[in-house]
Amino acid sequence: MRIALDAMGGDYAPEAVVKGAILAAEQLEKDDVILLIGKEDVIQPLLNEYNYAGNNITIVHASQVIEMGEHPTKALSQKTDSSIAVGYGLLKMQKADAFCSAGNTGAMLVGAMFSVKAVEGILRPSIGGLVPKLNGGFGIMLDVGANADCKPEVLEQFGEIGSIYAKYVLEIPNPKVGLMNLGEEEGKGTVVTQAAHQRLKANTNINFIGNIEGRDLFNDKADVIVCDGYTGNIILKMAENIYDILNEKNMHDPFFDKFNYEAVGGSPILGINGNAVIGHGVSSPKAICNMVLQAQKMVSSKLSERFHKKYSV
């Protein structure tokens, strides 16, 4: 397995990424390789400085960097030798099984759509957010930001896509799908969620349990939480902020500690021809390590192939 990792992406890159890669390399299988993408003359000295002497990290040179504030489409078209462009190039040519970056989120999304592209039959690729559950483990919420507005049929498909992720990556048998809404009754909600409810209910591919509410995010009602990217993004950032506040107040607890982005490392892009994970801009070495391990899980569970098999005719 070859996992490409953008060495130049994130506020603390390249140092935090190189450290994270070394942490991950220690936990990967013997034959697994991390392809560390970026400026070789910057990365190699760091590997030396951190005394990395293993065989699981290979540098892939990329001379350019897309900065956090750059316009995604413009940057990708102009910086064809940027670490993100090179990473997606490797993914497209199947020289990498997964690509991870804590860099420019927009460029990661646009890059995916321009290179490996959406799986044929998938209406809208989405970003999945991992939601910690009170009774242990995680659920998956989608979308958390790729699609602000979603049509009912898109929300329905999120239920299917999320179920595949939950089943194979989170290893939850027969995952329960819930539609985020303002009330449990099926007539509640926006025009779009009301229509989506009917579609999800009629869909025999999934285990739809009905509407869930804001209070159900962390309980066991649903393993797959379906919502538009506007709503999911607000929920995710609110949860991250709760963690930050608790942390500042020195209030610690194993459940709330899982709200920390470091615990999961990143958010998978779901529904593209390849496995890609977007990390948090402020990713620490631990976050980078967990992002790589999440990508490893996506690859070993054949996530991308499963989407392709299900949707592409």
The single residue among 190, 198, 205, 312 that binds its own copies, judged by CB under 8 A, is 190
The single residue among 81, 174, 214, 220 that binds its own copies, judged by CB under 8 A, is 214
**Which residues lie below 8 Å from residue 53, measured CB to CB, with a gap of 6+?**
none
Q: How many residues form the binding site for its own copies (CB under 8 A)?
A: 40
Q: Does 289 engage in binding with its own copies (CB under 8 A)?
A: no
Q: Does 110 engage in binding with its own copies (CB under 8 A)?
A: no
* Closest CB 12 distance from its own copies, rounded Å: 19
Alpha-carbon span 101 to 68, nearest angstrom: 12
**Which amino acid is residue 278, in one-letter code?**
I
Q: Does 249 engage in binding with its own copies (CB under 8 A)?
A: yes
Q: Does 234 engage in binding with its own copies (CB under 8 A)?
A: yes
The single residue among 81, 95, 251, 312 that binds its own copies, judged by CB under 8 A, is 251
Q: Report which of 233, 244, 211 is spatially closest to residue 126, judged by C-alpha positions.
A: 233
Q: CA-CA distances (angstroms) from residue 74 to 78, 79, 108, 110?
A: 6, 8, 13, 10
Q: Which stretch binds its own copies (CB under 8 A): 1-9, 45-53, 201-209, 227-235?
A: 227-235
* Closest CB 270 distance from its own copies, rounded Å: 17
Walk across the sheet containing 98-101 and list its strands: 57-61, 33-38, 2-6, 98-101, 275-279, 266-270, 126-132, 138-142, 224-226, 176-180, 207-212
Which residues here bind its own copies, judged by CB under 8 A?
A: 134, 145, 148-149, 180-183, 188-191, 193, 213-218, 228-231, 233-242, 244-246, 249, 251, 253, 255
